[in-house]
Amino acid sequence: TLYAENFSNQTPIEFKNEFDRIMSTGKTVYDELILDLYFLGKTIALKQRILLLSVIVFMIGLILTIANTLLNN
């Protein structure tokens, strides 16, 4: 597919060949769009999990800092 994560390691010639293959038939273009949407969804889901983990770690650190400040004063 032409999803960025898949073609970022290709040479320009490989990318052009892949693009030409996809454009050769109309049905393939729609299939590629569907696959690209799938991979975009997978990437967004991964980024959301990482963001959630980051927020949890931040909140734990914030709570521990507040608790430490209150206990030591």
d(CA 46, CA 39): 11
pLDDT of residue 59: 99
pLDDT, residue 21, reads 81
On whether the CB atoms of residues 29 and 20 are closer than 8 A, the answer is no
Chunk the chain into consecutive blocks of 10 residues (it has 73) and report each block's average pLDDT, rounded to whole numbers: 67 85 80 85 93 99 98 90
- CA 57, CA 44: separation in Å to the nearest integer? 20
